[in-house]
Structure 1
Amino acid sequence: MQHRGRHRRRKRGKALRAVLAGTALALTATATLISASQATIPDDPGSLKPLTSAADTAQLRLQEQPVPYRTLDRLTSAMGRPVDVDAVLRSADRTLRNAPDCTEGDRESLPVAPAADRAYCWDRADATRDWRPSSVTTSADADADGLWGEHRVVLAGSTHTAPGPSGDRGLARVAFVDADDPAHLAYRWVLLVVPTTDGRDYRGLSSQVSGMVWYQDKLLVTTGAGSADALYVYDLDRIQRTTVDAAAIGRVPGGWSADGYRYVMPAVAAYRYPAGGCTATGSPCPGTISLDRATAPDSLVLGEGTATGSDRRARLWRYSFSSDPARSGLLAIDAAGRADAVEAYTTRAHRIRGVLSYQPPGSARTTWYLAHPPADPKGHGSLWRLDSAGARAARCGSDATHHCWAQHTRSLSYVPQTGEVWSMTDRMLFTVPLTGVDKSLG
């Protein structure tokens, strides 16, 4: 089955669903106690500096490397007809627990300010340190009306980090979350895989996933510092069902296995920096990504996670998505298959773990939101809003500390239809209103 940019969704003309209302969470212990180790206010990252040098922007150029159709079609022919997102949602076998049913430790990982509107912890079967939640994107990224077909969907990625055989494989998986009912979120895991060159087998994605964006029928994921590829691309129309429940990944006697997962999603393309991945020579280290629908065309936003104390300024930049219907969900490229950054900045902010680019209605200025992890592993992070004029941070507590954001936040994803931002800690998935973020800025 050759993919030619079809966007296979069943629209039935329904009006946009009502805004998902939620009651703000009472985070009593977290809101009143800010540890002394967090009281130090981090250095102000200052204003964004445009990156305009041809030599500097050339380092941000990506080379597209599609998986040949014959490879994908051979794998599809061997594994059987792909299933769609609806089929995965219908087979949901886990439930996210609402905040009151989560542990105190779970809830303490949530932001102090702004307070979360809604928050969920994972099914007890997934409440393990073996997997690190890393990224979130939603059907509001996938489609401008916020829905995929008739469903409101959240995709949340995790990377396996535990020692042992599975940890050595560095597996990455994505939870397909049915978010139609905000009081009852159910999900199913799908394992990310990469086809072999001949299309006769697949392997697990052996790279850390630190960011995801679901745009049209594609899922773009970052691949971490150890990979030569900056981004992998997955096709939501090419989800495959496994047939053997075994610890192996790939073709096995009797069919196909994925370490016990029912579904796999094979990569259909990758984007690579010509100079290689994340090096001191200038190749960027994209640590987090998000979607910006305020640009024309829509754009992919990236943030770089440099080490604390590094002399090198971190970069923020964006690529335009293609407007060619035959290239749905892929970046705009030139005749040589290269994607150039259409805008880039540097910032003194370090360890960026979440990025949003947002242009308020009626404003000509784009603002950037950056999330940072805490210096104290048990503390709270910070959330900054930056533009060309300067930077402001969310504040909380009597000492006006900036350590108000979630613990170990991984990602930011904006939903224009509801005005909420989805994010996650290493324990919980949560939403905050963007208006609440702005109100908390000092």
Structure 2
Amino acid sequence: MLRRAALVLGLLLAVLLVPSPAVAATALTAANFRLQATAYSGLIDDLDAALPNVSVPGVVADGNRVATSCSPGASNRLASFCWNSGDNGVTYWIPQGITTTADAYDAGTYEGATAILVSWYDDGTDGVDRGVRVSFVDYSTPSAPTYRHVLLVEPYTRTDGRASFRAVNVHAGGMFWYGHYLYVASTSLGFRVFDMRHIWQAGTTNDALIGWQSDGTYQAYGYKYVLPQVFTYARSTAGGYANLTFSFASLDRTSTPDSVIVGEYAYPGTGTRLVRFPIDYTTRMLTESTDGYAHATQAYDVSVTSMQGATAINGTYYLSTSDGDANKGDLATFTPGGSVVMHTDNLPIGPEDVSYWRDKDQLWSLTEYAGSRSVFAVRASAY
């Protein structure tokens, strides 16, 4: 009986440890997915002259909130932290995207700073839509991270001709940092691009106002720093393909050349594609063809619903998928020419965007649901 029980237990464990059945993936004509850049904003110089400029290390060192230690339920977890109680519990700000200084530069630092960035969108349920904020987390001491939220803004010209800025109202489901640019996924547009060389210090006297005010100040809903949008990339397609939904995005520094992964969230319905665009490390912009477009170099329909994030590491795609607010998330892998394999329940409840820190073999992600929010890294090579 003991031998039989042991055999049954062994078979049960084997079943539990084997990944879920593979999901078929279909190759698409990559070059038919394209992006086109707008010109760099002509208002940046005017606002540079009107507002104090602050460096990235200056913002990172000016943290006014302290992260807490926590142990989210992620298999092969290497690192983690949680927000303070206010940010963990707030319902109208919802965390989504993640990137790090290892995306910005291969050395893993930006002007000496080691940081993790997380995007949050305001759902407006408290009566005000403040757009998107980005948490600049000082990760130079992983055991004691501090952070500060920075508001994303879009410069514009007022009717009186004065340069001002307004909130950026997007979902910000994914982002990546490359050189001095922060690329933020814009669901039905493509990318909104922000310039880290132009972080401005705003007034903090009124948390209900934004932009230039009659008293000569520039307010930002009470946030001390703002990061301006400087240009955008507009999506389009050829060959009869439907437009790609920019639900999330990440950087792949393991490809040659460096490249960008964009994917779609769908539950239920159509929209389960992953697309790769090349990016130029000399200009920090997507690689443009002679026709003025940046064309994708890989594209697949992976038939995976509820994708929340994706990146690629040495040719293999890594996908995070969610399963509601009561079930753990899944990590999936996919190598072109093969099928998607689901590793079920390996991520905490509510996983979102992902970002890879190559030198540490850390695949970073975060969770979104109020009351149980965390930021964590798992060992990528375990999958």
Bin for the TM-score computed over the shorter chain: 0.7 to 0.9
**Counterpart residue number, 1:351:** 306
1:148 maps to a residue whose letter is Y
Asked if residue 125 in structure 1 is aligned to residue 86 in structure 2, the reply is yes
Asked if residue 284 in structure 1 is aligned to residue 255 in structure 2, the reply is no
Instruction: Please give the alpha-carbon distance, in whole angstroms, between the structure 1 residues aligned to 2:162 and 2:293.
Output: 25
Instruction: Please give the alpha-carbon distance, in whole angstroms, between the structure 1 residues aligned to 2:233 and 2:274.
Output: 17
Deviation at 1:113, TM superposition (A): 2.4
SS in 2 for 1:389: coil
2:232 maps to a residue whose letter is A
8 Å contact kept, 1:306–1:351: yes
Choose which of 305, 319, 323 in structure 2 pairs with 1:370.
319
SS in 2 for 1:75: helix
| CA spacing shift, 1:428–1:44, aligned 2, 3 Å | same
**Counterpart residue number, 2:154:** 194
Q: Deviations over 1:17-60 (max 9, x none)?
A: xxxxxxxxxxxxxxxxxxxxxx9x998552432212xxx742x2
Asked if residue 210 in structure 1 is aligned to residue 173 in structure 2, the reply is yes
| CA spacing shift, 1:369–1:296, aligned 2, 3 Å | same
Instruction: Please give the alpha-carbon distance, in whole angstroms, between the structure 2 residues aligned to 1:335 and 1:74.
Output: 32
SS in 1 for 2:352: coil
Q: Residues 59-208 of structure 1 correspond to what in structure 2 (within 5 A)?
A: 60-68=33-41, 70-80=42-52, 82-99=53-70, 110-114=72-76, 116-127=77-88, 128-166=90-128, 169-197=129-157, 200-208=163-171
Asked if residue 389 in structure 1 is aligned to residue 338 in structure 2, the reply is yes
CA RMSD of aligned residues (A): 2.3
Q: TM-score, normalised to structure 2's length?
A: 0.86
SS in 1 for 2:267: coil
Instruction: Please give the alpha-carbon distance, in whole angstroms, between the structure 2 residues aligned to 1:267 and 1:294.
Output: 27
Asked if residue 320 in structure 1 is aligned to residue 278 in structure 2, the reply is yes
Instruction: Please give the alpha-carbon distance, in whole angstroms, between the structure 1 residues aligned to 2:162 and 2:304.
Output: 42
8 Å contact kept, 2:51–2:201: yes
1:125 maps to a residue whose letter is G
Q: Deviations over 1:414-434 (max 9, x none)?
A: 111111111101211111111
8 Å contact kept, 2:203–2:220: no
Give the gaps of 5 or more residues in structure 2: 1-15
Q: Deviations over 1:242-294 (max 9, x none)?
A: 0342120111123110000000011011111247xxxx971111211111112
Instruction: Please give the alpha-carbon distance, in whole angstroms, between the structure 1 residues aligned to 2:363 and 2:330.
Output: 15
Q: Deviations over 1:296-319 (max 9, x none)?
A: 2211111111223x3x46211111
| CA spacing shift, 1:272–1:170, aligned 2, 3 Å | farther
SS in 1 for 2:43: helix
Deviation at 1:336, TM superposition (A): 5.0
8 Å contact kept, 1:129–1:162: no
2:259 maps to a residue whose letter is S
8 Å contact kept, 1:313–1:347: no
Q: How many residues align?
A: 355
8 Å contact kept, 2:130–2:221: no
Deviation at 1:331, TM superposition (A): 1.0
Q: TM-score, normalised to structure 1's length?
A: 0.75
Choose which of 341, 349, 358 in structure 2 pairs with 1:416.
358
**Counterpart residue number, 1:332:** 287
1:86 maps to a residue whose letter is P
**Counterpart residue number, 1:49:** 26
Instruction: Please give the alpha-carbon distance, in whole angstroms, between the structure 2 residues aligned to 1:111 and 1:214.
Output: 27
Asked if residue 432 in structure 1 is aligned to residue 378 in structure 2, the reply is yes
1:154 maps to a residue whose letter is I
Query: Percent identity among equivalent residues?
Result: 27
SS in 2 for 1:404: strand
Q: Deviations over 1:345-398 (max 9, x none)?
A: 111111210102111xxxxxx211111110x4211111111122223222xxxx
SS in 2 for 1:410: strand
SS in 2 for 1:86: helix
Instruction: Please give the alpha-carbon distance, in whole angstroms, between the structure 2 residues aligned to 1:353 and 1:264.
Output: 26
